[in-house]
Structure 1
C-alpha cells in the first residue's frame, strides 16, 4: 500500500475530507440505504481519508440513524456532520456524532450579498454574529470545528476577510472556502486563497480547505490551484458525485497529487504535483471504492471519466494496441485496475485483433483474423459495445475447432395455444443417445429446458443476432447466441430453415464450446 509515502522530505501533506455521504448523497440518483452508507464509511476509512462528512441530520432524518452507526463503528477518520448556524442544527449533529472517538461539526452560513439578501434576509453584521455564535457553540461540544462561508467565491472580499478572522478567534480549526456554484477558474480561486492567507487574522493557526463544484468542468483544476496557493485540505467525493454537475473528484485530485513522474520526460519532472505534496490515501483501493459506490447507487460514472471511467485504460486504435503502455501516463495498477486493455472496434484493424489474440495466448492465421473482424462488425450492429469478454470468446471461436460432445439429433415441439409449450429433444452425449421432454414458455424455452435436463447444466442462452441467409420462403436463418459460464462468455452458431431449430442448434454450439474449453483447461492454441 502507498499510504503516507512522501516523495521527499519537503513534501507537504494534503488532508482528504470525503463528503460522498453528505454532498454526494444530496441528489436522488445517489441515494443509499443506512446499511450501504455504513459499509461505504468503513471502506472510506480503509481507503485512508482523513475525515468523513457522514450527513446533514437536520435536513435528512435518515442521516440520524446512519450517522450514529458510523460514529459508533468507524474508526480512524474524523466523523463530521453538517449544520447550519442554528442551535437546533448543531445539537442534532452533536447528538449523533458524539459517539465517535474523533467527532467534528461542520457549520456554514452564506456570505455572498445575493444569498444574504434573497435567501437569509439578513444583514452582513447579523451573518457575522450568527457565524461566531455557531462556532463557539460547536467548539463547546467537539474539538474539531469547520466553518464554511457558503458562496465564498461570490462574496465581498473585505467582508470575507473579517468574518473568517472572527470565526478563527471563536475557535474554528478548519476554514473551508466553497465555490458553491462552480464559478471559479483556477486563476481566480488561487488568487482568492492567496489573498485570504495574506489578510485574514489568525489564518496561520488553522487549516485552509477547498470545496469546489464542477459546474464548468474545472473542479479538479480549481482544487489543485487552491492547493498551490496554500490550502492543505480538500473536500471531495468518490466519482465526483454531488449536486448538479458534482464535486471535485477524490480520485482525480489524489492521483494528480501522487508522484507519477516515472512516465514523464526528464524535462517535465519538476512540473509534477507529487514533488511537493502527498496524501494518506491507499490508492490501490480507489477503484474498489468507486465500484462499491456504483453498486450502491446504480449511478455509473461516464465511460470517459478520468481514472475510474470504463474507457480510461482501454485501447482501440491499432497503433495504441501495439504498445498500450506508452499511451498510459498513469499505471492502472496504482488505483487497483488492470491496464493495457485491448478493445476491438471500427478503429482496430488487423493489428488490433492480432495483439488481442496474443494477450490471450493465440496466434491467429490471416483467415482467422478476418473471421474475428467480421464477427466483431456483426456484434457492433446489435450491441453498443464489444466487451473484452466478447472479444475473448470471438477469438476462441476462430482459433479453436471444437468437437461435438453434445450432438443434436432432433427436436420435436408443440405449436401455438395458450398453454405452456413442450419439446422433446434427442441428443448424443459422447456418442450415447439420450431423449428428454420438457415444458417452457415457448418452444425454444422448452427445448432448452430439455437440454438442461440432459446435460445437467442450468445455463440460460442469450440470442445475439438473427441473420436470414437470403430472401423469400425456405431461407435459412443463422442465429448467433452466447451463454455465461464461470465468469466467461461462450458463443455459438446455429443454422436452419426452422427458427426454433436454429436457436436450439446455437445453444448446443455454445455448450460444446464451453465443454471443450473446460475439459482442456482453457488451453490456448
Structure 2
C-alpha cells in the first residue's frame, strides 16, 4: 500500500521564532570535528571491524587530523572494550587527541564505561537517553518528568564517578531522537543536565543535538538548533554539537544550516557510513568549506588512499558519484562540458589567476590526489571535439588545429559508439594515428628533392601498386610545390588550408609534428599528420596522408 495519508510531520517547531541563521552566507570556520566511524559507523556494518581493522582505521583518522574520535561503546561488547583498553595501555592516543566513548544513561553501563577509559590522559564520556514523544509513549511508557530524571541521574553519576576516578574527563549529553522531541522539553532536559555538571571555561560540557532520524526540511532543524543555542544555561561554557543522520538525504544541509544557527561541533563519519541511510558525511562537509576558501582543519589531500582504505576495512563501496571522492565526480563525458573545461585550463595557463574558477570543476582535482589525465576529461560517444583534443594535448603534447578537431571528434565518437565503451587516452591516440599518420593506401612518397629557381621546384618520387613514378611541379614553397605535383598527378584539387607545427619534446633531438589540411573542389576537408626530426619531412608525410584521405 502506497498511501501518503498515513504520514504527518513528526517534528516540532520552536515556540519562538528562530531564524537569525538565514542572514549568514556560508560556514566561515571549521567546527570541532568528531569522527564516529569506529562506533556509529562500525555498528552499522554488516560485519563490524575486528580489533586490527579498527586500529588501522583509527590510525587513518589520526592522519586525517581528527582531534576527537569516538572509539566505541565499550560496555556493549568485548571487542569494543578491548579496543579502548588497547589504545590506552599501548599509549596509542596522541597528547592532542581525545577519545570519546558512548554510554546509555543506565548505572551499570556507565560504571563499565568508566572502567574502560581508566588511565586515559583525557576522554569524553558521552551519555544519552531518548526524549522523543514517540519513544516516551511507545517504548518507555514514561512521563516527561520520568524521562528527564533518567538524564539527571545519569549526569549525576558521571560527575560522581569522575571525582572518584580523578581522571581528566569531559562530559557530553545527547537527548536522543532530538528531532522528534518538543524543543522546549529538549531544552528543559538539557538545562537540567548542564545544571548538574556546572561546566566551566576550563572544562566545558558538550550538548549534542542528534538528528537520530531526519524528519524535517533542514531549515526546521536550523531553527531548533538556534532555539537551543539561545536558551541553554551557561552557554559560554557549553559546546553545542550536531549529530545528523541522513534519512531524508539532507544530512549535509542539516549540518551546514545547524552551524549557521550557532552550533560549534559536528559528529559524523568519513563518506557518510552509518545506520540506515548513514551519518552526515564529514568529507563532503569539510570539502564544501574548502571550496569556499575556508580551511577545514582536516587533511583530505589523498582521497584515493582514504577511499581505498575505507572500502577495504568496512567492505562498503563508495558510489562513483559520491561528492569529491567518487571515481566519476570530476569526469566530463559531455562535449560541451569538455570544451569548457579545456578552455578553462588553457585560461589558467595563459593568465595564471589567483583563484580557481575552471567551469564544471568546483575544486582542483589535484588538491585531493586526483589527476587530469585519467579523472577529468573522459571519452565516450557523448564526447566532443574539445575533449578529444584536450586528451591528446594533456597526455601526448599534441595541439590539434581547430579546423581538424571536428573530423577527429567524429572519428573517435564512431569508435566509442560501435564499441559501446569509454575509450582510454591510448585508444584515442591509436585512432588519431591510424586515421592521420602514414595513411598510404593509394600511394607513398618515397623521395623528394627541391631546387630553388623561380620559386621552388620539387621532384617527388611516389610508389603506386609497387611501381615508382617521378612527378614534378613548381610552387611558392616546398610544401606548395609537392601539393601541386600531387594535384597534377591525380587530377584532383590539393589546396592546403591548414598548416601547423610544433615540437613534441624539448631539446636538440626533439621530434616535430606537422598538421596539414587540404580541400577538394567541393570544399571538403581532409587531414594528415607527420612526425619526424625534420620538420620538412614531417610536413610532407602529413600532406601525403591528407591526399590519401582525399583519394578514398
The CA distance in 1 between the partners of 2:260 and 2:69, in whole Å, is 23
Using a 3 Å threshold, how does the CA distance of structure 1 residues 129 and 32 change in structure 2: closer, same or farther? Answer: same
The CA distance in 1 between the partners of 2:60 and 2:384, in whole Å, is 42
Question: Structure 1 residue 374: deviation in Å?
Answer: 4.2
Alignment match, 2:310: 293
Alignment match, 2:297: 280
Deviations 1:320-342 (A, max 9, x none): 22342321122223333335611
Using a 3 Å threshold, how does the CA distance of structure 1 residues 397 and 13 change in structure 2: closer, same or farther? Answer: closer
Deviations 1:333-372 (A, max 9, x none): 3333335611112310343322222221164787876664
Q: Is the 2:211–2:245 contact (alpha carbons within 8 Å) kept by the matching residues of 1?
A: yes
Is structure 2 residue 412 aligned with structure 1 residue 393? no
Structure 1 unmatched ranges of 5 or more: 1-9, 262-273, 402-525
Using a 3 Å threshold, how does the CA distance of structure 1 residues 370 and 113 change in structure 2: closer, same or farther? Answer: closer
The CA distance in 2 between the partners of 1:96 and 1:198, in whole Å, is 35
Is structure 2 residue 141 aligned with structure 1 residue 115? no
SS at match of 1:24: helix
Q: Is the 1:84–1:109 contact (alpha carbons within 8 Å) kept by the matching residues of 2?
A: yes
- More moved, 22-31 vs 173-182: 22-31
Is structure 2 residue 44 aligned with structure 1 residue 24? no
Is structure 2 residue 363 aligned with structure 1 residue 330? yes
2:272 to 240, 244, 249: 240
Deviations 1:454-481 (A, max 9, x none): xxxxxxxxxxxxxxxxxxxxxxxxxxxx
Aligned residues: 370
Deviations 1:40-95 (A, max 9, x none): 11111121123111112233332222233334413232111111011222233333
- More moved, 180-189 vs 235-244: 180-189
- More moved, 63-72 vs 198-207: 63-72
Q: Is the 1:372–1:394 contact (alpha carbons within 8 Å) kept by the matching residues of 2?
A: no
Is structure 2 residue 183 aligned with structure 1 residue 157? yes
Deviations 1:294-345 (A, max 9, x none): 1222322222221111211111111222342321122223333335611112
Is structure 2 residue 209 aligned with structure 1 residue 184? no
TM-score (norm 2): 0.62
The CA distance in 1 between the partners of 2:308 and 2:240, in whole Å, is 30
The CA distance in 2 between the partners of 1:20 and 1:46, in whole Å, is 14
The CA distance in 1 between the partners of 2:196 and 2:81, in whole Å, is 27
Alignment match, 1:170: 196
Q: Is the 2:291–2:362 contact (alpha carbons within 8 Å) kept by the matching residues of 1?
A: no
Question: Structure 1 residue 210: deviation in Å?
Answer: 0.6
Using a 3 Å threshold, how does the CA distance of structure 1 residues 344 and 38 change in structure 2: closer, same or farther? Answer: same
The CA distance in 2 between the partners of 1:297 and 1:23, in whole Å, is 13
Question: Structure 1 residue 115: deviation in Å?
Answer: 0.8
Structure 2 unmatched ranges of 5 or more: 1-26, 163-167, 200-204, 342-357, 435-552
Q: Is the 1:38–1:69 contact (alpha carbons within 8 Å) kept by the matching residues of 2?
A: no
SS at match of 1:175: strand
Q: Is the 1:30–1:299 contact (alpha carbons within 8 Å) kept by the matching residues of 2?
A: no
Aligned ranges 1:335-414 → 2 under 5 Å: 335-339=368-372, 341-361=376-396, 363=398, 372-380=412-420, 386=422, 391-398=424-431
Using a 3 Å threshold, how does the CA distance of structure 1 residues 377 and 63 change in structure 2: closer, same or farther? Answer: farther
The CA distance in 2 between the partners of 1:30 and 1:368, in whole Å, is 50
Q: Is the 1:219–1:248 contact (alpha carbons within 8 Å) kept by the matching residues of 2?
A: yes
The CA distance in 1 between the partners of 2:47 and 2:105, in whole Å, is 26
Is structure 2 residue 93 aligned with structure 1 residue 61? no
The CA distance in 2 between the partners of 1:65 and 1:371, in whole Å, is 62
Question: Structure 1 residue 147: deviation in Å?
Answer: 0.4
The CA distance in 2 between the partners of 1:338 and 1:308, in whole Å, is 12
Aligned ranges 1:61-140 → 2 under 5 Å: 61-71=78-88, 72-75=91-94, 76-139=96-159, 140=161
Q: Is the 1:23–1:242 contact (alpha carbons within 8 Å) kept by the matching residues of 2?
A: yes
Using a 3 Å threshold, how does the CA distance of structure 1 residues 287 and 227 change in structure 2: closer, same or farther? Answer: farther
Alignment match, 2:56: 39
Using a 3 Å threshold, how does the CA distance of structure 1 residues 392 and 146 change in structure 2: closer, same or farther? Answer: same
Using a 3 Å threshold, how does the CA distance of structure 1 residues 377 and 30 change in structure 2: closer, same or farther? Answer: farther
Q: Is the 2:123–2:170 contact (alpha carbons within 8 Å) kept by the matching residues of 1?
A: yes
Question: Structure 1 residue 120: deviation in Å?
Answer: 2.5
Is structure 2 residue 262 aligned with structure 1 residue 230? yes
Deviations 1:447-504 (A, max 9, x none): xxxxxxxxxxxxxxxxxxxxxxxxxxxxxxxxxxxxxxxxxxxxxxxxxxxxxxxxxx
Q: Is the 2:30–2:289 contact (alpha carbons within 8 Å) kept by the matching residues of 1?
A: no
The CA distance in 2 between the partners of 1:179 and 1:245, in whole Å, is 12
Q: Is the 2:33–2:266 contact (alpha carbons within 8 Å) kept by the matching residues of 1?
A: yes
1:193 to 225, 229, 252: 225
Using a 3 Å threshold, how does the CA distance of structure 1 residues 200 and 318 change in structure 2: closer, same or farther? Answer: same
Alignment match, 2:550: none
TM-score (norm 1): 0.65
The CA distance in 1 between the partners of 2:376 and 2:224, in whole Å, is 42
Question: Structure 1 residue 199: deviation in Å?
Answer: 2.0
The CA distance in 2 between the partners of 1:201 and 1:87, in whole Å, is 25
Q: Is the 1:80–1:97 contact (alpha carbons within 8 Å) kept by the matching residues of 2?
A: no
Using a 3 Å threshold, how does the CA distance of structure 1 residues 374 and 146 change in structure 2: closer, same or farther? Answer: same
